[in-house]
Structures are given as C-alpha cells and as structure tokens.
Structure 1
Amino acid sequence: MTRILPGILAMAVVVVASNILVQFLFGQWLTWGAFTYPIAYLVTDVMNRVYGVAAARRVVFIGFLVGVACSLVGTQIMGEFGPLVTWRIALGSGLAFLTAQLLDVAIFDRLRSGRWWRAPLASTLVGSSVDTAIFFFVAFSASLAVLEPGNDVAWANETLPLLGAGPAAPLWVSLAVADWMVKLSLAILALLPFRAIVGKLSPEVA
C-alpha cells in the first residue's frame, strides 16, 4: 500500500478538485472540472504501468469511494437552484467513474506489451468515451427521469443546435460532446507527462 500511496493521494486530489471545479462554468458548454477530471486516467495508467493491474484497481476503487463521499456531501449543500449535486448526478458520476476506470485498467493491461504510447492512449480514449456517455445520459436524459422524479431536468433537454452550430439536439448532448472533446485532447497531451513520470519511477519499463 505504501508504494502506491502517491497514486492514491493524487487520485483523491483529482476527484475532490473536479467535484469542486465542476460547479464553475468555462464558456458556454464546459466547466473547469472538465480540465481536471481527465488527469484521473493519467494517474491510473501510471499506476498500471509501474505497479501493475492490482495496484491500479486499488487506486481506482479508492478514487471511487472519495467520489461517492464528495457526491454525498454535495447532495446536502443547497445552491441557488437546489442541491449542488442531485441523486441522478451522484449516480451517473459514480457509475461512469467506476465503469470507465476499470475498463481503462483492463485495456491498458491488454496492450501493455505494445509500443509505450499505445496502452495509455487507447485505454484513455475508450475509457473517456464510455465515461462521458454514461454520466451525461444517466444524469440528464429525459428518458431516465424515473430515477429521480423530483429532479426537473427539462433545462438539459431543451432542443438547441449542437454546440450552437450543428443539428438540433438536447442541450445535454452538446455538453457531453464538448466534455468528450476536451477529454480526447487531454488524452493525447497526457502522453508527455505519462512518459516522463514512468521514466522516473521505473526507467526499465519506460
């Protein structure tokens, strides 16, 4: 446990910071949390490369527990329009994180013997895509209103041009696409710190 403590602490910081920063808008389609949350994949991939699958999964599960704790706290804090975190958002966030991160771990492990960049890039791209799809659909889709009947998500289902210029789609779809594009961009940029960190922690596998 001691050897992966830095990874655990890093994951906890990322999860807590993202839960706070998601409350602050960045432009029309994003929040600041969109730029911090993808770092979780970097943490998971470094742990996987240096310490193996079991260590990476342990870091993921601890990050999941931290995320659940943050969500539970958020449901008890009242903002201008109600709780900062609704139960649907809490459910979507937890389900998306755990599913996507474990998928990331599995894909990384399957590809670990290939070129150094293939495993972190492929696992993060797939994990991020699944994460985005699960979270936004569970948290905001009108078709899942039964999950929390008292939570009005009509605002998220208002039909608007996609990202302000594309075909008509529910607002939550534009939010999801914008979030997904940021994650994909950061997945590519994260290859540089991944290479540097792994090279420092375990030069023989860099």
Structure 2
Amino acid sequence: MNLVLGMIAAMMVIVASANVLVQYPVNDWLTWGALTYPVSYFVTDLTNRLRGPAVARRVVWAGFALAVLLSAVLATPRIALASGAAFLASQLLDVAVFDRLRGRAWWQPPLFSSVIGSALDTALFFALAFAGTTMPWMTLALGDYAVKVAIALVMLAPWWWLARRARRTPGDRHG
C-alpha cells in the first residue's frame, strides 16, 4: 500500500478510536483515549520525516476529514467536532514545530513537536468536548496530557529504529 494512504488510514483509525475511548474514564484523572491518541503524532512526524511537511499536512487534512466523519458516527457529534478542531490545530502545529527542528538531534523534532502539539490538543479538545458537562474535564485533561507526554517519550524508541532505516529528507541529522 502507498505510504501516504497507509498513514491516512492509520490516522483515521487512531483518532476515531481515541474519540470513542475518551468517553470512558479509567479513573478520576485519565481516559482510555489518552492511550491511543498520542500515536497520531508519531504518524505525523514519521510522514514529515519521510516525505516532508507538505505531505505531512496532506495526511493531517485527509485524516482530519475521515476521522471527524467516523467519529460523528462512533462517538458523538460534539466529540467529533471538538476532536476535529483540536486535531487540526495541534497536528498542523506539530508539523511546523517538527520541520523547524528538523536539523537538530534525532530525538528533538519528534519529542518537542509531540509535547507542544499535545498541549494544544488537550486544552482545545477537553474544553470544547466537555465544558459545561458533569465530566471532570480539567482533571481528565491534566491526566491525559501527562500520559501523552509519557507516550511521546516511549515512542522515541520505535522512532529511532524506524528513522535509522528510512530514507532521510534534506536537513535531517542523526537519523
């Protein structure tokens, strides 16, 4: 399968599953969605590394459209719209930050772009999806963000492995 189509499909599945899972708290400070959504940054960053920021943005836009449609069916329209807005803003920020840091050490672009993108995503999503509801959304947002940062750190291991084996784009250093 074409790499770009595979990345779009992965993005759609990751985001739609996170939108279903975010409705189910694990405890008072975490939802199941926090365990799946951070992988979307890995997909975006890998696309950016392999094909550049223009292709990464196309994957984000296509993944956004498909995930919002699927989420409206599988989750709720409010979650789908909140997710769409947060996803689009945070993923486009991720692409820009990653590209800006492209020439730095191998771990900096994927880590910093994911951490910064996750902060924007978490703030936008939880405020739009759950403000005014009985869901303890501020506490859940803090817990979700902490897990997203932890997963971004864990994803550095497969990032390093895949980046070492993949074709490099101009400006990449150390993988």
Q: TM-score, normalised by structure 1?
A: 0.76
1:201 to 162, 166, 173: 166
SS state of the match for residue 54, structure 2? Answer: helix
Q: 1:174 corresponds to which residue?
A: 139
In structure 1, C-alpha distance between the alignment counterparts of 2:165 and 2:103, rounded to whole Å: 19
CA contact (8 A) 1:15 1:66 kept: no
Structural RMSD (CA): 1.9
Residue identity matched to 1:200: R
CA contact (8 A) 1:18 1:34 kept: yes
Superposed, which structure 2 residues align to 1:90-129 within 5 Å? 90-129=80-119
2:125 to 132, 135, 139: 135
Higher relative contact order (CA 8 A, sep 6+): 2
Aligned residues: 171
CA contact (8 A) 2:44 2:60 kept: yes
In structure 2, C-alpha distance between the alignment counterparts of 1:86 and 1:66, rounded to whole Å: 14
Change (3 A) 1:186 1:16: same
Q: 1:45 corresponds to which residue?
A: 45
- Residue by residue over 1:113-134, the C-alpha shift from the partner in whole angstroms, topping out at 9 and shown as x without a partner, is 1111111111111000000001
Residue identity matched to 1:62: A
SS state of the match for residue 202, structure 1? Answer: coil
Superposed, which structure 2 residues align to 1:27-38 within 5 Å? 27-38=27-38
CA contact (8 A) 2:16 2:71 kept: no
Structure 1: any 5+ residue segments left out of the alignment? 75-83, 143-152, 157-170
Change (3 A) 1:50 1:173: same
Shift, 1:86, TM fit: 4.4
Identity, % of aligned pairs?
A: 47
Shift, 1:21, TM fit: 2.7
Change (3 A) 1:31 1:12: same
- Residue by residue over 1:56-78, the C-alpha shift from the partner in whole angstroms, topping out at 9 and shown as x without a partner, is 1111111101221123214xxxx
SS state of the match for residue 115, structure 1? Answer: coil
Structure 2: any 5+ residue segments left out of the alignment? none
CA contact (8 A) 1:128 1:180 kept: yes
Q: 2:12 corresponds to which residue?
A: 12
Q: 2:76 corresponds to which residue?
A: 85
Moved more, 22-31 or 8-17: 22-31
CA contact (8 A) 1:19 1:70 kept: no
CA contact (8 A) 2:20 2:71 kept: no
CA contact (8 A) 1:96 1:134 kept: yes
In structure 2, C-alpha distance between the alignment counterparts of 1:86 and 1:2, rounded to whole Å: 31
In structure 2, C-alpha distance between the alignment counterparts of 1:93 and 1:55, rounded to whole Å: 21
Q: 1:62 corresponds to which residue?
A: 62
In structure 2, C-alpha distance between the alignment counterparts of 1:9 and 1:85, rounded to whole Å: 21
- Residue by residue over 1:125-169, the C-alpha shift from the partner in whole angstroms, topping out at 9 and shown as x without a partner, is 100000000111122224xxxxxxxxxx2x13xxxxxxxxxxxxx
